[in-house]
């Protein structure tokens, strides 16, 4: 059975020195998914990298939640396009090697 | 590190307002932020430059320092503190040198700067030009030494300086010799040598400006009957004719027999002679008798 690794939002608030509402707003905007267990909010540890990036975008660039959402969509799109570009280049190289 | 023009980095004018700086930074940050430019080293570097520019220019105090000192803005406090210390240091050195007649070496002065700023030629503060330190020296002379123009060789801070001392120099007078002080820093001009004359007077003459004053004792008989009197002047004796019935404290002016006028060849002050009547003592019986007769004659 797969074990889910969760971390309490309260701990992240202390560690990153941010308000609890920041996570609430991220959740309301659909950027992260909170897990509530006995009235305590948790987040999956594999999302911490994204959360840190969201914090930087919010603090460094004063992006609101909608702005962060747009950036993440575009970054994912770029990632996807980069992957497709890499795959296309690799396929092209196969044909070039045959020639 | 090359000088970075923060205004240019943010693409704003030097007269930009705080709002304009903020706006320019935000625009640049959105463009070059590493999170929106993943795996892009050039953007990352650019974002660092933009952030640094913003940190400086968005802080009014830092911006003021940057505008004033340019690339040296980080050392602005050091530079200003150093300049203040230099002034204090110069004052202290001036006092101590007045006692010793010496100076301090150029190397010591450089060390002082080095200790403040380090020695790297690329450091910005090295470009600030400082005028060299003024050297102060005191030259002790006798009044007779300055009666005629004379040449002297002084050794100040290890350097021999040949100096013409004009006749008539006054006690406490200072002369400045430009360019004979400490070396300037970073191409700054040399300082000056300031020499203060301390003139002692071991003569019987009192000097006041260009005039001399002397007291001459006059015997009773010459004072009453008149006569000739040889008196000392600063450069020899002169014969004075005392008029009959000269009173005690009478002043006589000997024109042109005073002290030379400073830097005016052939011009001299006056010598004032004050007669101090010397009454006879240890009178003989005969002298007492004659004085009594004189007294009776005067009363009659």
Chain mean position to CA A24: 15
Alpha carbon distance B237, A29 (integer Å): 115
Angle between helices A48-61 and A65-98 (to 10 degrees): 120
Each residue's pLDDT tens digit, B206-229: 999 999 999 999 999 999 999 999
Of A60, A71, A75, nearest to B29 by CB-CB distance is A60
pLDDT (0 to 100) of residue B216:
93
| Alpha carbons B280 and B200: distance in angstroms, whole number | 35
Residue of B nearest to A50 (CA): B35
Residues across chain A: 99
Q: Cβ–Cβ of A57/B35 closer than 8 Å?
A: yes
Q: If you measure CA to CA, which chain A residue comes closest to B37?
A: A75
* Assigned token pair, A17: 């020195």
Residue B298 corresponds to which tokens in the numbers above?
């005067």
Examine the pLDDT at B126 and tell me if it is beyond 50: no
Q: Do B211 and B191 share a domain, yes or no?
A: no
CB B284, CB B224: distance < 8 Å: no
Contacts of B36 in chain A (CB under 8 A): 57, 61, 71, 75
Residue of chain A with shortest Cα separation from B30: A61
Residue span of the structural domain in which A59 resides: 6-98
**What is residue B196's predicted lDDT score, i.e. its pLDDT?**
87
- B92, B182: one domain: yes
Cβ contact B40:B73 at 8 Å: no
Q: How many domains does chain B have?
A: 2
In chain B, which residues have their Cβ closer than 8 Å to the Cβ of A71? 35-36
Which residues in chain B have their CB less than 8 angstroms from residue A78's CB? 38
- For residue A1, pLDDT over 60 is answered with no
| Cβ-contact B194, B135 below 8 angstroms | yes
**CA dist., res. B168 & res. B146, Å (int):** 6
Model pLDDT, residue A93: 86
Q: Is residue B60 part of a domain?
A: no
Total count of domains within chain A: 1
Domain ends where: B168, B184, B200? B200
B168 and B238 both lie in a single domain: no
Q: Under a CB-based contact definition with an 8 Å cutoff, are residues B134 and B180 in contact?
A: no
- Taking the CB of residue B232, how many other CB atoms lie within 10 A of it? 15
d(C-alpha B216, C-alpha B200), whole Å: 22
Q: Are B263 and B256 in contact (CB under 8 A)?
A: no
A70 has pLDDT over 50: yes
Sheet of B251-254, strand order: B206-208, B211-219, B271-278, B251-254
- In a mutational test of the A interface, the residue from B29, B32, B33, B35 whose CB has the highest number of chain A CBs within 10 Å is B35
Query: A28-42: per-residue pLDDT in tens?
Result: 888 998 999 988 999
Full residue range of the structural domain in which residue B133 is found: 77-200
pLDDT at B122: 41
In a shared domain, residues B102 and B195: yes
B284 vs B139, higher pLDDT: B284
Asked whether residue B64 is domain-assigned, the answer is: no
Interface of A with B in 2-41 (CB under 8 A): none
Across all residues in chain A, what is the average pLDDT? 88
Q: In chain B, whose CA is at the least distance from the CA of A62?
A: B26
List, in sequence order, every residue forming a beta bridge with B176; answer none if it has no partner. B194
Per the domain annotation, does A60 fall within a domain?
yes
Give me the long-range contacts of B266-270 (CB less than 8 A, separation at least 24): B267/B210, B268/B210, B269/B209, B269/B210, B269/B211, B269/B212, B270/B210, B270/B211, B270/B212
* A61: chain B residues, CB-CB within 8 Å: 26, 29-30, 33, 36
Specify the pLDDT at position B40.
Answer: 86
Residue B223: inside a domain: yes
Residue A5 has pLDDT above 80, yes or no: yes
DSSP letter for each residue of B52-91:
HHHHHHTSHHHHHHHHHHGGGGGGHHHHHHHHHHHHHHHH
Whether residue A85 lies within 8 A of chain B, CB to CB, comes out as no
Listed residue (B175, B184, B137) closest to B159, CA to CA: B137
pLDDT digits (tens, 9 = 90+) for B86-95: 777 666 666 6
Measured CA to CA, the distance from residue B126 to residue B186 in angstroms comes to: 6
CA–CA distance from B28 to each of A12, B19, B49, B71 (Å)? 29, 14, 10, 22
Which tops the pLDDT comparison, B146 or B136? B146
Q: Is residue A1 part of a domain?
A: no
Q: What is the mean pLDDT of residues A54-80?
A: 90
Residues on chain B touching A62 (C-beta within 8 angstroms): 26
pLDDT at B111 exceeding the cut of 80: no
CA distance B199 to B144: 9
Best B36, B40, B47, B52 member to test A by mutation, with max A CBs in 10 Å, is B36
Task: Give the span between the Cα atoms of B295 and B277, in whole angstroms.
Answer: 19
Question: Touching check for A53 and chain B: CB below 8 Å?
Answer: yes
Residue B188 and residue B100 share a domain: yes
pLDDT tens digits, residue range B232-270?
998 889 999 999 999 999 999 999 999 999 988 889 999
CATH code of the domain containing B259: 2.60.260.20
Q: Quick check: A75 and B36 CB within 8 A?
A: yes
Average pLDDT over residues B153-175: 84
Tokens, residue B112:
């002082």
* Burial (0-12, 13-18, 19+ Cβ within 10 Å), B9: buried
Q: Taking CB atoms and an 8 Å cutoff, what residues of chain A touch B30? A: 61
Same domain, B215 and B174: no
A38: in domain = yes
Interface mutation target, options A31, A53, A61, chain B, most CBs of B under 10 Å: A61
How many other CB atoms are found less than 10 A from the CB of residue B267? 13
> Does the beta-carbon distance from B36 to A62 stay under 8 Å?
no
pLDDT score for B286: 94
Residue B151 CB coordination number (10 Å): 8
């Amino acid at each position: 059975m797969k074990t889910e690794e969760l971390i309490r939002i309260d701990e992240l608030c202390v560690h990153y020195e941010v308000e609890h509402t920041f996570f609430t707003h991220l959740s309301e905007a659909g950027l992260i998914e909170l897990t509530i267990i006995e009235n305590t909010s948790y987040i999956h540890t594999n999302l911490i990298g994204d959360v840190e990036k969201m914090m930087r975008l919010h603090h460094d660039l004063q992006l609101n939640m909608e702005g962060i959402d747009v950036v993440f969509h575009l970054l994912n799109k770029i990632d996807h396009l980069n992957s497709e570009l890499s795959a296309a280049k690799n396929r092209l190289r196969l044909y070039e090697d045959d020639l | 590190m090359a000088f970075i023009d923060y205004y240019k980095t943010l693409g704003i004018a030097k007269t930009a307002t705080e709002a304009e700086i903020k706006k320019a930074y935000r625009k640049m940050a959105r463009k070059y932020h590493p999170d929106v430019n993943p795996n892009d080293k050039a953007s990352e570097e650019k974002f660092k430059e933009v952030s640094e520019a913003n940190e400086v220019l968005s802080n009014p105090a830092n911006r003021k320092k940057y505008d004033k000192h340019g690339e040296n803005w980080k050392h602005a406090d050091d530079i200003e503190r150093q300049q203040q210390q230099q002034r204090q240091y110069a004052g202290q050195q001036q006092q101590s040198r007045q006692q010793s007649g010496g100076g301090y070496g150029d190397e010591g002065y450089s060390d002082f700067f080095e200790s403040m700023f380090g020695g790297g030629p690329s450091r910005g503060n090295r470009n600030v030009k400082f005028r060299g330190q003024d050297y102060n020296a005191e030259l002790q002379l006798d009044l007779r030494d300055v009666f005629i123009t004379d040449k002297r060789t002084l050794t100040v801070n290890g350097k021999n300086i040949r100096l013409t001392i004009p006749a008539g120099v006054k006690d406490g007078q200072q002369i400045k010799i430009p360019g004979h002080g400490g070396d300037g820093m970073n191409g700054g001009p040399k300082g000056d040598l300031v020499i203060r004359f301390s003139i002692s007077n071991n003569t019987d003459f009192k000097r006041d400006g260009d005039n001399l004053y002397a007291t001459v004792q006059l015997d009773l008989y010459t004072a009453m009957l008149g006569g000739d009197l040889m008196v000392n002047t600063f450069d020899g004796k002169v014969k004075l004719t005392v008029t009959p019935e000269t009173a005690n404290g009478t002043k006589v002016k000997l024109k042109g027999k005073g002290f030379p006028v400073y830097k005016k060849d052939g011009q001299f002050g006056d010598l004032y002679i004050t007669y101090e009547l010397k009454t006879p003592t240890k009178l003989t019986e005969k002298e007492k008798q004659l004085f009594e007769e004189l007294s009776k004659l005067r009363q009659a």
